[in-house]
Amino acid sequence: MSSALRARTGRHRQRYDDHLRLVAGCIPYKMKQCVENDTEDFVHRLEILMISSPNRNDLVFPKGGWEDDETVEEAACREALEEAGVRGIIEKGLGEWRFRSKSRQNSCSTEGTCKGYMFALKVTEELDNWPEKNSHERRWVSVKDAWSLCRYEWMCEALTAFISVLSRDLAQPPTELSKPSNWCFDRASATERAVDTFC
């Protein structure tokens, strides 16, 4: 059954900043209900939604082009709906990152470089059908699994910012973090540090 909602296509409304394609995305999340142990810390109760990439064997956060008829927050919500089939509440900006599009990862040119704005999205509704369901599967994962699935440095940094922002918002005692720039240069050790710190 196809979704009645339709994904936007084309780039005729795409925003650019000095030849950089502007992108908006989010880290959708929900909290597991604690039944057995009410003292379980929030990171262990946190579930993060990631989506598959078309024609690739990896998971990413929903994101896509920010268009000229919407705010950056509206673009992030739209991408979450189109790619992951979720609606929710945009809570906090996590930061801004520059990264290459998937097709330009190994290029030395600046062509294909994006400037992305990421947000935390508290999921309030999961749809059974969504515009890009045939292109993107969705999977709820733990924070520990999300760390191991982050393929790109910018994703690790966004996840670090996400945990830090939620820790502050939920009045959790601050967890000591390494500098974000250290998270993914050595993927094995960065992931291990992140898992040890948060999990």
Per-domain residue ranges of the chain: 16-198
User: What span, in angstroms and rounded, lies between the C-alpha atoms of 89 and 80?
Assistant: 11
Phi and psi, residue 167, nearest 5°: -60, -45
Q: Which residue has the tokens 């040119």?
A: 109
The total of other beta-carbon atoms located within 10 Å of residue 165's CB is 18
Q: Is the pLDDT of residue 102 over 70?
A: no
User: What span, in angstroms and rounded, lies between the C-alpha atoms of 66 and 85?
Assistant: 18
Better-predicted residue by pLDDT, 92 or 156:
156
Q: Is the pLDDT of residue 169 over 90?
A: no
Average pLDDT over residues 111-122: 91
Q: What is the dihedral of CA 174, 121, 100, 110, to 10 degrees?
A: -90
Strands 20-31 and 59-60 turn out to be unpaired
Q: What is the dihedral of CA 178, 93, 148, 187, to 10 degrees?
A: -40
- Spatial neighbors of 124 by CB under 8 A, at least 6 apart, are 87, 88, 89
Would you say how long the chain is, in residues? 199
3-state secondary structure of 42: helix
pTM for the predicted model, two decimal places: 0.77
Superfamily covering domain 16-198: Nucleoside Triphosphate Pyrophosphohydrolase (3.90.79.10)
Q: Is the pLDDT of residue 111 over 50?
A: yes
Smallest Cα–Cα separation from 97: which of 25, 170, 47, 194?
Answer: 25
What proportion of the chain, given as a percentage, has pLDDT over 90?
55
Smallest Cα–Cα separation from 198: which of 137, 147, 158?
Answer: 147
Please work out, in degrees rounded to the nearest 5, the angle formed at the alpha carbon of residue 190 by the alpha carbons of 189 and 194.
Answer: 115
Q: What is the dihedral of CA 112, 13, 137, 199, to 10 degrees?
A: 70
User: What span, in angstroms and rounded, lies between the C-alpha atoms of 128 and 152?
Assistant: 29
* Minimum mean pLDDT range among 70-79, 129-138, 152-161, 164-173: 164-173
What proportion of the chain, given as a percentage, has pLDDT over 70?
71
